[in-house]
Structure 1
Amino acid sequence: MLREVTAVRYVTPLREGGSMPGLVEADDHRLYALKWSGAAQGRKALVAEVLAGELARGLGLPVPELVRIELDPVLARSEPEQQIQEQMRASGGLNVGLAFESGALNFDPLCFEVPAELAARVLWFDALIGNVDRSWRNPNLLVVGGELRLIDHGASLIFHHHWAGAAGWTRRPYDAGDHALGRFAGELAAVDGPLAALATPELLGRATAAIPDEFLVDEPGFDSPDAVRAAYVAQLTARLAGPRDWLPALEVTA
């Protein structure tokens, strides 16, 4: 389960990404990058953010803490830009936040080196979830004290936008041709077995359990939030089952 906090102060928009997250202070006196439930991407982007983030954490990858954030839309009064005001007002209630890391730098593959094993593990993970948003143009990686942080997974798990055809996604190859860590990645075969062994049904169950019910209710074709969670587990379990024929496409040349 994600820890729950309440936004008490809106600080500023973070003008990166299509949803333009907002920097807020919560009642625990910490800052968070708030992902709006009322953004154009909708609640499924938040579902992907939570599931992918908690799965990455379970695989030992560095992800900022994810929290549930309650937002009072009255905080929109402190934002002068009308478009952002409207997004804030549409996001009253439950949202998702990532712990804000002071001093974090945006990752640049030309400026930072990444250990080969870590780069391979991130590539493997992105292939598992079908993350299309980790290119060298938009890495969605931060560097904090010389260490990587993985952020912004809302564009992954795209099968949940069309459940009727979701089964076909489980064997879809992953195109890593412009992946931000492609030039650093070591041998993927070396990380495949250990990571697949960690991605147990228990871990998948814990990751899906972190998704708030509020983001899963009224999903067409499902009679309960738990039924939707079970479908996510089934999808990822099927993708993990051998042969993992989506892995060869990860072989990237610098």
Structure 2
Amino acid sequence: MSTANPEVRDSALTVTTPDGDFAAFVALPAATPAPVVVVIQEIFGINEDMRETCRKLASQGYVAVCPDLFWRQEPGVSITDKTQEEWDKAMKLYTGFDVDNGVSDIIATIATALKRPDAVTRVGVVGYCLGGLLSFLTATRTKVDAAVSYYGVGIDKHLDEASNVKHGLLMHIAEADEFVPAEARQKIVAGLSGNPHVEIHTYPGCSHAFARHAGVHYNAVSAKLANARSTEFFAKYLK
């Protein structure tokens, strides 16, 4: 799937950390300098879904950057949700993933991206699945201007950090998420609903990854609604 926008350009970025260097996919808008949005991957790496997400954000006027957060385990992962073999690999990577290192790599990505001449100082993050958790944690551990979390897995285990959210956080929660039990979803909503910086939307009947482009659980109506909310949210906080 393509944005079909000839003015959006694919690019790349190298992020340097004390532990080593890793790559990031970049989609550039027609007009720069522009705000930065860091796109945080699912358990499938920087696949076509993540690249398309970046291109759509670039078409909306953002420098979209997707870091390779699996680089410590296996650089360059790009798989789908279509086969059991791919799922097995994705779950192996997920279980071996260090969340704190992931947040540190996102922070390094933000710092590197903001040094680009085509970027301005406003920055947001958006994450999906594992990335939804990392987006939440980035909101609690940094001063990003805006964070969007799609069906984050494991957020209920980190609610002790919820009071640290001081800037805009938008959450999209699937009510039939097979990876986030109802009790966990209720804890997340209860733990965050009192924070004036947090906006929460739930999507009845939707499974995990309902907004994944061409995903097996893609729900066009709910994905369109969630993405429209995200577009409005980023415009409010970043432009």
User: TM (normalized to structure 2)?
Assistant: 0.30
Larger of the two Rg values belongs to structure: 1
Higher normalized contact order (CA 8 Å, seq sep 6+, divided by chain length): 1
So what's the TM-score if we normalise by structure 1? 0.29
Which has the larger share of strand?
Answer: 2
